[in-house]
Structure 1
Amino acid sequence: MNLSVSNSPFNEEQAAQLNQVLKDLTPEQRIWLSGYLTAGQQVAAQAATTDAAAASPQVAENVLNSDTPTQAKREITVLYGSETGNAQGLAEMFADRLVEQEFAVKLNAMDGFKARDLKKVQDLFIITATHGEGDPPDNALTFHEYVHGRKAPKLDGVRFSVLALGDESYEFFCQTGKDFDAKLEELGAERLVDRQDCDIDYDDPAEKWMNANIEKLINESGVEPTVTATESGQSAQKQRYSKSNPYEAEVLENINLNGRGSNKEVRHIELLLDNYGEEYEPGDCVVVKPQNDPEIVALLLETLGWDGQQEVTINEDGDTLVLENALKEHFEITKLTKPLLQKAAPLFENSELNDKVNDNEWIQEYIYGRDVIDLIQDFPSNNLQPQDLHRFLRKLPPREYSIASSYKANPDEVHITVGAVRYEAHERARNGVCSVQLAERIEPGDTIPIYLKKNPNFKFPFDEQTPVIMIGPGTGVAPFRSYLQEREELGLTGHTWLFFGEQHFTTDFLYQTEWQTWLKDDVLTKMDIAFSRDSDEKVYVQHRILENSETFYQWLINGAALYVCGDEKYMAKDVHQTIQHVLQTEGNMSETEAEAYLAEMRKENRYQRDVY
């Protein structure tokens, strides 16, 4: 909300100056400033009361014993556990809105909060993602262990609410949020608002959770709100490009980086950001709003025997779209999840499906590699209607891609590196929704809806004293291209070491000439490469780390910052175990000591991962 003469006690010049200052403040700075002003006001009020008491004891008694109903606002603590920045962004937004309502707010990442202070909190709000197979994000691990450990305090008198982020396609959906919610109640805390579990499309449920909590806090405080919770949310959404307000970016280049004969297709895509109005940093993401393949949509309509031109309801609010467009732009139709099957069973009225959805083991096996077309063919329904789709299909989620360019070097552009996903499953060819759209159906001159997303948990140092180790096989190398491009633009040299891996040297060496140029110009100090299919025995980046074990260890103990980007399930896990092995071997550490060393690196932001 902008200040003006009409909505504040400031004159026009003061309002303009304050608007300029507030516009550039981070959420943490706004919260600090709010606390500072509140504290100053309290000191002034105490001084005034003291002066009044000195002048007239009767006046002081009237001030302190006034019949005017006032209820002190409780102090609010907002903690977040975030892997890719989604939970952090929501926590900052929530804290910002609470400050706007003049609440005293403390905002922290879970690893930045002193666990022993938990017993001192009054109102606690937890916003957390779930990582991997039901695990807490890296920056929530220690706090999660503390809350679930023997040292956790009784929390009588504490009130709380949990916002959990997850992905329904994973078995342990929103597990970390569920863990915190159950444990806080077990410790004696009172739940303010029920836990909200959010799928990938988290905007609307997160908004409802924020509004419900803010309205409850306002009602209990007995103070008039400065602005309604809904108005506050709408104002925040209008301020920048987002999922609900994307930017139509023109495609400038769409180049296949792989050589002829490669088993892979990796596209280098350059997008125009003319007048976007926002900068990005190495480590940030471009988020693309994709569309389903028209051929898949046509096959689904044929399988269902439905008219694609009829209007259908697409959500609980009653919004409608033409069916063909709804299947192309709105609904996710290429992925099955456990909740989808459980919601579909009563709508399909298929007895076999009704029996099978009670078998969790069968569900996990069935959903792998199958889509909605498979489901309809395997479990035909005579009663399913177009108006039923929104009752079991979720919204088509946007796709995030690490930025592969420097804003300082390309202020009107943003580059991404996208690997086209193609595979065979259950006797049908399958394609990645967004990656194959970008590879096959998007050409220079076309536009695609995008927005930029900050990734506060993957940030690089920009000095010449900190050594930097980057590990990025395949398309995981994208943020390191961004980082080195920015270092070159800033004229920085220093110790930088890149590990890159792919299948074949001759066809899959992504951005080869750029790395070679940066090596020659000392922007990149050292590079080790691993091409797994060029030898009888497969060689991956973790093998190159082991071959350079002594040097790698020296870089770490000399203060190197370590970055890993790419596949979580295999690469990131193998790399982590290898680094742990290096610490044990070269540093004479036990396994526990090596893991503690890496945990300390995480706290110091010297070990950061962007894995998926």
Structure 2
Amino acid sequence: MPNGTPAAIAPPLFSPEQATLLEQLTGTLDGSGLWWLSGYAAGLARSQAVPVVRPAAVPATEPQPATRLTIVYGSQTGNAKRVAERLAQQIEAAGLPARLVRADAYATRELKNERHLAIVISTQGDGDPPDDARGLFDFITGKRAPQLPELHYAVLALGDSSYPQFCAIGRRLDERLSELGAKRWFARGEADLDIDTVATPWLANALAAAKEAFKPQTPLPLATVTPLRPLAAAVSAYTRDNPFPAELLVNQRITGRGSDKDIRHFELSLEGSGLQYEAGDALGVWPVNPPRLVEAVLRTLELDGGHAVTHGDQTLPLRDWLSQRRELTRLSRPFVAAHAARAGDAGLDALLAPDRAADFARLLAEQQIIDLLQTYPAAWTAEELVAALRPLAPRLYSIASSTKAVGEEVHLTIAHIEYAAAGDHSEDRLRWGAASNFLARASEGEKLPVFIERNERFRLPKDGTRDVILVGPGTGIAPFRGFVQERAAISASGRNWLFFGNPHARSDFLYQLEWQDALKRGVLHRLDLAFSRDQAHKVYVQDRLREHGAEVFAWLEGGAHLYVCGDATRMARDVHATLLDIIATHGGKSSEDAADYLNELQAQGRYARDVY
């Protein structure tokens, strides 16, 4: 942008005052906000004669809900957002009116007036809504939701079938909207990790339904379209589907002798990639399955790894399919059901029954595909196996650095998953995590396929005077290393309070020297530690939060932002419950008011979680 002034980007039809207002507005919007604004502006422009006249003649009223498609997404890792944006692009390209809204930006009071609604939403962990959709989910499933007899809707549910509550949030919203009298436009989609298999036909149905519901409008001639803001810097050619081969610079174990954990610090070069990230974003890594695991599967099933298998439009040796294209470390319900049908084992069949949900969840959590194959022998052909296994998906890791401190590098903090499984198959007893083992096996100098996954909801406050509270036990410390680097680089005056926990101080105090140095330099203002196994009774980060509850609440009352990163199933839930207790106790609030207080912090972006 020349000189960085609003006047430099404004077309001649704007006055300087209007140009300033335009820059102020667009400068505060994220991608979804700009999508909505572009659709809104286009809708207004289409109601005018072409060429466009001065803005004073444009009606100030918003298009009526009955004349547009509202697309709402709830996304934890970005997948639902990507699909929703694809739908918005397709609808806009067809000349149809639409708006794209992130779930936490959607005003629930508008629901009763909607006529056409598309929801794209993921399920987080074991049956939880994504953080940005908690408020909307609670509203629609709660008692305050209105009757919706005039609403037509469609739901695309995203999930991971290695969890028992696969697509549960999308399913519950779909069923609840029907209970409220709304009419399904077309059947709900339930997408597993191979999202496009379900998302692509669902998007085609949505576009066809929208074309029936709305009369296509002729797009404005390109000559009359003026960008809302200057063209951004060139976007990197490297994406999720076209990852960058990043050189591994450092692969270093940072847990000490005697630790039960093998936690690694990785540094990778992004030089020449054009990839950019902000503190709070994630790095996607495309893994290759552990070679010993691949060989164990081939040996157990007595299959030839060199046998050529054609699936879809690809032909590869079976060993390559299992190494690079198929999930081997995560069980899913469809594969368990398929294997049970082949094995003919009554005990395995029984685990699939609805009343055995807890036992089935334990199976998914504790066993891998090789365990199933060895425990319940059954015959598979190479072709059947490739078709039944899920596509290998990239793993996302919170970035543990700030570009302001490390330049064209990206750092990660990852626990290498390796353990011995029970059973009599001594040769095949070791089990691994797919991506953590892939990274741990990599030698410095190797090239690893990576991409940036943005996390707009996990950002430091733009106001550097704000205080921040960071809760990150274990590898959850990763983004907060980047946060503290970022705050130091910009000389933010707000205070930084870190809560960290792990089993033992001697062997598991991750980045100990860095935190001690940050304290000395005044970059880190408070550090509270919870080493759970260093005393007779276990102490966790939530215990330290409770001990300092009065101060935590005072910081929140003073405008502090609070961030939590780490395990979703236990730690994050325990921390959330502790925060509710702190707010109720030190704020003199009822449990309901404490929940409203925390929900409001979340809505304001002052309570953000990066949990997995």
Settle same-fold status: TM greater than 0.5.
Answer: yes
**Are 1:78 and 1:91, in contact at CA under 8 Å, matched by a contact in 2?**
yes
Alignment of 1:498-517 (within 5 A): 498-517=498-517
Partner of 1:36: 41
Partner of 2:494: 494
TM-score of the pair, normalised by structure 1: 0.84
Matched, 1:183 2:179: no
Deviating more after overlay: 532-541 vs 352-361: 352-361
Matched, 1:397 2:398: no
Distance 1:463 1:602 in 2: 17
**Are 1:493 and 1:522, in contact at CA under 8 Å, matched by a contact in 2?**
no
TM-score of the pair, normalised by structure 2: 0.84
Deviating more after overlay: 245-254 vs 371-380: 371-380
Matched, 1:81 2:85: no
Distance 1:78 1:450 in 2: 30
Partner of 1:345: 340
In structure 2, do the counterparts of structure 1 residues 610 and 498 end up closer, same or farther at CA, with 3 Å as the change threshold? same
Matched, 1:26 2:31: yes
Partner of 1:331: 326
Partner of 2:412: 416
Deviations 1:128-183 (A, max 9, x none): 11123323223323322332344433333322111111110111110111112122
Measure how far apart 1:27 and its partner are. 4.2
SS of match in other structure, 1:409: helix
Return the match for 1:281 from 278, 282, 297: 278
SS of match in other structure, 2:514: helix
**Are 2:329 and 2:369, in contact at CA under 8 Å, matched by a contact in 1?**
yes
Distance 1:169 1:270 in 2: 30
Alignment of 1:199-348 (within 5 A): 199-218=192-211, 221=214, 223=216, 240-314=237-311, 317-346=312-341, 348=342
Distance 1:464 1:96 in 2: 35
In structure 2, do the counterparts of structure 1 residues 595 and 38 end up closer, same or farther at CA, with 3 Å as the change threshold? closer
**Are 2:126 and 2:569, in contact at CA under 8 Å, matched by a contact in 1?**
no
Distance 1:265 1:149 in 2: 44
Deviations 1:551-586 (A, max 9, x none): 212111111100000111221122122222222222
Alignment of 1:512-531 (within 5 A): 512-531=512-531
In structure 2, do the counterparts of structure 1 residues 239 and 515 end up closer, same or farther at CA, with 3 Å as the change threshold? closer
Deviating more after overlay: 370-379 vs 355-364: 355-364
Alpha-carbon RMSD across the aligned residues, in angstroms, is 2.7
Return the match for 1:371 from 364, 368, 372: 368
In structure 2, do the counterparts of structure 1 residues 540 and 186 end up closer, same or farther at CA, with 3 Å as the change threshold? closer
Could you tell me which amino acid in structure 2 is paired with residue 267 of structure 1? R
**Are 1:285 and 1:454, in contact at CA under 8 Å, matched by a contact in 2?**
yes
**Are 1:344 and 1:392, in contact at CA under 8 Å, matched by a contact in 2?**
no
**Unmatched runs of 5 consecutive residues or more in structure 1:** 1-20, 49-71, 227-237
Partner of 1:140: 133
Deviating more after overlay: 428-437 vs 451-460: 428-437
Task: State the identity %.
Answer: 38
Matched, 1:359 2:356: no
Deviating more after overlay: 499-508 vs 94-103: 94-103
Distance 2:215 2:562 in 1: 50
- Structure having the higher Rg: 1
SS of match in other structure, 1:33: helix
**Are 2:247 and 2:269, in contact at CA under 8 Å, matched by a contact in 1?**
yes
**Are 1:84 and 1:457, in contact at CA under 8 Å, matched by a contact in 2?**
no
Could you tell me which amino acid in structure 2 is paired with residue 446 of structure 1? E
Matched, 1:436 2:437: yes
Measure how far apart 1:193 and its partner are. 3.0
In structure 2, do the counterparts of structure 1 residues 513 and 493 end up closer, same or farther at CA, with 3 Å as the change threshold? farther
In structure 2, do the counterparts of structure 1 residues 150 and 564 end up closer, same or farther at CA, with 3 Å as the change threshold? closer
SS of match in other structure, 1:126: strand
Distance 1:255 1:473 in 2: 19
**Are 1:27 and 1:95, in contact at CA under 8 Å, matched by a contact in 2?**
no
**Are 1:421 and 1:432, in contact at CA under 8 Å, matched by a contact in 2?**
yes
Distance 1:161 1:467 in 2: 41
Could you tell me which amino acid in structure 2 is paired with residue 326 of structure 1? W
Distance 2:400 2:105 in 1: 30
Number of equivalent positions: 553
Could you tell me which amino acid in structure 2 is paired with residue 414 of structure 1? V
